Chains A and B, each alone.
Chain A
Amino acid sequence: MKYKYLNGKLAIYLEEELDVSSCKTLRGIIDGYIMKFQPYELVLDLTDVKFMDSSGIGLILGRYNLIKLLDSKMKVINASPSIQRVLELSQIQLECVQYGR
């Protein structure tokens, strides 16, 4: 996982597979960066994510709730078609997700 912080915007570049195991680790790391930088906008970039199940949806939802507490914005970008499918099947309305790659 890589991150970039610039002018109040924090971008997190997620990688590989977002499942129950990786999400437990990532949760603490991402929240650490959010608390450190207190960004006005968080971007989760899924370009290099090859697999995601509902654990990934939990990860996105959890960060979204934290970002809302900070009164900041969040965007989820570059989900592959198979990840977009999982997001749609979950039937959770995630206004932060930008569809289309």
Chain B
Amino acid sequence: MEDNYMKIEILSKDINVLPVRIAITSFLSQENVHIDEVMDIKTALSEAVTNAVEHAYNDEKGKIDVEIHLDNNDNICIKVQDFGKGIEDVSLALIPTYTSKPESEHAGVGFNIMESLVDELVVDSKLNNGTIITMIKKINKKKN
């Protein structure tokens, strides 16, 4: 694969998670990434964007930046950044089934699914500054 990237900026509304998924599916398909790998990346990205939509800005709306980079070593790097309240305790957020909003019926497994689907997950959060979720995955399967 040659170097390539895509950047998307959305308002933190839950209806905007679907267009982000559609965009990344389309972007990766033209790069000959196998459908199984596309599905994994799409799911991990959906979790990260959902997290920002649900938790970053409380009841207000703010912006979420999504960046997808491909390099010529077949690595894909995804960055999801919000500029909201930040995560108070990242290690707590990473514990399976932990949710800061139990009333919203979150399963609390978003980060666990992200961790399982990519090779590297980094959560960089600063209180009142926002959160950056970075995920790196090596593409092993290509379309025929």
Contact = CB atoms under 8 A, between A and B. Distances in A.
Given A20-B50, A86-B113, A51 B21 contact: yes
A15 B113 CA distance: 22
Contacts of B15: 21
A21 B104 CA distance: 12
A55 B109 contact: no
A55 B116 CA distance: 16
Nearest to B117: A89
Nearest to B106: A58
Interface of A: 17, 19-21, 23-24, 27, 51, 53-55, 57-59, 61-62, 82, 86, 89-92
Interface of B: 14-15, 17-18, 21, 36, 39, 42-43, 46-47, 50, 53-54, 96-97, 104-110, 112-113, 116-117
Contacts of B17: 19-21
6 contacts: A20-B54, A51-B21, A51-B43, A86-B113, A89-B112, A91-B96
